[in-house]
Amino acid sequence: QKEVEQDPGPLSVPEGAIVSLNCTYSNSAFQYFMWYRQYSRKGPELLMYTYSSGNKEDGRFTAQVDKSSKYISLFIRDSQPSDSATYLCAMSALMNRDDKIIFGKGTRLHILP
Amino acid sequence: GAVVSQHPSWVICKSGTSVKIECRSLDFQATTMFWYRQFPKQSLMLMATSNEGSKATYEQGVEKDKFLINHASLTLSTLTVTSAHPEDSSFYICSAPTSGSNEQFFGPGTRLTVL
């Protein structure tokens, strides 16, 4: 079993819809959970960063972590064509420069105008 | 946020040649930088951790003699792909954490194509 599983998509939704992106993981030591957005041929950009379980909201984005189920989600409200990108979940046990961040494969998202 | 740059943004080379990729932290100092490789439709895979003033730490399965890393200053790390082959064609991305936060800032990536 891979440490982090993420459906690669592509996921196509109409503009204005709510998007739900998810990852599952196997390592119970993970405590820090991140979502990155990556546009084609660009480096990843950090969107959301959550510690342990719970929800975190930032504008149209909401990150949820359920450590008991080893399941994390990213919700995008009022989706826009500019949200079209690949979204990578990532996680680590510690959050210091000595610890590795493990990435999911990324989900390609297309927002249809 | 902090800015990390990479140069070149893309490179095409012949099989057997060596290619150097630079990663710079533009507005902060980075004692540690990370090098990742990303194949199409695949996840970012950590190749090595670059440490300023000391040897890099390589992940299992990454050939240290093929992927030479030099972190000579607090703002620059270089990755040299030696004797490149077509299977080395990939997207190489570096990242660096700032000292004030645990967030890692990624460079824009370098696309290497080996003919």
A55-104 per-position pLDDT tens digit: 999 999 999 999 999 999 999 999 999 999 999 999 988 766 567 788 99
| Cβ neighbours of A33 in B, within 8 Å | none
Residue B8 has pLDDT above 70, yes or no: yes
**Measured between alpha carbons, how far is B25 from B23 in angstroms, rounded to an integer?**
7
B16-41 per-position pLDDT tens digit: 999 999 999 998 888 889 999 999 87
Split at pLDDT 50, 70, 90, the class of B101 is: low
Distance from CA of B100 to the nearest CA of A (A): 11
Q: What's A27's DSSP letter?
A: -
Question: Which residues on adjacent β-strands are paired with residue A79?
Answer: none
Split at pLDDT 50, 70, 90, the class of A51 is: confident
First to last CA, chain A: 37
Question: Among A97, A98, A99, A102, which would you mutate to test the B interface (most chain B Cβ atoms within 10 Å of its Cβ)?
Answer: A97
Q: Tokens 């690669």 identify what position?
A: A8
| Cβ neighbours of B97 in A, within 8 Å | 96-97
User: Quick one: average pLDDT of B85-89?
Assistant: 96
Q: Tokens 């990150």 identify what position?
A: A63
A44 touching B (Cβ < 8 Å): yes
Query: Chain B residues with CB-CB distance to A under 8 A?
Result: 4, 6, 31-32, 41-46, 91, 93, 95, 97, 102-109, 111
Whether B93 sits inside 8 A of A100 (CB atoms) is: no
Q: What's B89's DSSP letter?
A: -
The CA distances from residue A97 to A81, B27, B32, B73, B80, in Å, are 35, 18, 7, 17, 22
Residue B115 has pLDDT above 80, yes or no: yes
User: Quick one: average pLDDT of A7-27?
Assistant: 95
Nearest to B62 by CA among B45, B76, B39: B45
